[in-house]
Amino acid sequence: MPAVDLFGNIIPDKTKKPTYRAYLSSSKWKKKCEEKKISVGYKCERCGKDRYLRKLTVHHLTYEKFGDEPLEDLEVLCAVCHKSADWKREQEVAERNYEKLEEARFQGFVRAKYGDNCPYPDEEYLYMEYQSWRKKKGDW
């Protein structure tokens, strides 16, 4: 079972630095990278630049099977595309976490104000109340 954070997102083994680094410097991983690069003809799978134009790296599409990942879980990317792929993934995780946090805050606000017997079945109204409370607090 992969580790999950407070919001149920899988925590990449990246955070367990020794394991992550040890694997990425292992010959098993290097061999797998080579295999993957051969399978796509030594080209970046996003922009098509080849190994003579840019340094090629292997990107994890998912960390689910980290350490024993099939080639389909990997993507060959040039350094430029790899950077933007990592950045995009971070943004997506941050966005998901923010939405969940916001939802939890809203639910907490409703519970704190009305307890379990909320007189308003209308979430939209409650959300407006919540928003003006946040504004008053100076959060927004």
CB closer to Zn ion, 60 vs 130: 60
Q: What is the distance between the terminal CA atoms of the chain, rounded to a whole angstrom?
A: 38
Using CB under 5 A as the binding rule, whether residue 81 contacts Zn ion is answered as yes
Judged by CB under 5 A, the stretch of 13-21, 33-41, 46-54, 63-71 that binds Zn ion is 46-54
Among 83, 66, 82, 85, CA closest to 23: 66
Helix, strand and coil in the chain, % to nearest 5: 55, 10, 35
Residues 86 and 58: beta-carbon distance below 8 Å = no
CB closer to Zn ion, 43 vs 66: 43
Beta bridge partners of 91: none
Near Zn ion by CB under 5 A: residue from 44, 56, 110, 126: 44
Judged by CB under 5 A, the stretch of 29-37, 76-84, 95-103, 117-125 that binds Zn ion is 76-84
Residues in contact with Zn ion by CB under 5 A are: 44, 46-47, 78, 81
